[in-house]
A and B are shown apart, each in its own frame.
Chain A
């Protein structure tokens, strides 16, 4: 069964360093997402991406964050200058359809990358 994969599973970095989190969505999916979950807290939406551009972003997704689909398979989240509060699990998700009103879109989540900022 196809699945979303994420690398690395755990990333440790120093405050102020840049990190890139990588995701390979399911191959025929069109919509891509990043979420994060700080330890013990809710899963929070960061950004959605469709047709090579950001569709929606949350207030968390500030200028330190960027997303890219550099080729036909990878979807990346870059944090330019990490802060202590960026420590969290980061989940990539993809869905096969464009979300239209009245329809549903099942999102398929990856296993996550645990980011630890020291």
Chain B
């Protein structure tokens, strides 16, 4: 599976922006970058995905480095409900769709 590296944990204060980094130096040209998150006692939840360009949706923004070897998930204003494990996943371009979850980053949001 395609390898990603994320910090084990990060902390933020409520209402502040959060930048969650992910390194994926072995990414290939057709790999999509996905972010999922897992809130406590829930199933994973899709957050955002991208290929080359930066992406925005209602949940977050995804900034992708020009060489695509790293990306950053940006939560513009963290809330207590954003406390979760965030997973950066490369979609290896196969036709089968399995997701490889790593350990992810545990985000703690302080009030």
Contacts and interface: CB of A to CB of B under 8 A. Distances in A.
Nearest to A43: B101
Interface residues of B, number: 23
B49 A104 contact: yes
Contacts of B110: none
Contacts of B103: 42
Interface residues of A, number: 29
Contacts of B32: 104
Nearest to A56: B96
B12 to A, nearest CB: 23
A105 B97 contact: yes
Contact of A102 (B30, B34, B45, B101): B30
Interface stretch (B2-10, B16-24, B36-44, B64-72): B36-44
Nearest to A99: B97
Contacts of A33: 97-98
A39 B82 CA distance: 21
Task: List 5 tightest A-B contacts by C-beta distance, closest first.
Answer: A109-B43, A99-B97, A43-B101, A56-B96, A45-B98
Interface of B: 30, 32, 34, 38, 42-46, 49, 87, 91, 93-103
Given A43-B99, A56-B97, 6 more contacts: A44-B101, A56-B96, A56-B98, A107-B44, A108-B46, A109-B44
Interface of A: 4, 31, 33, 35, 42-45, 48, 55-56, 58, 91, 93, 95, 98-102, 104-112
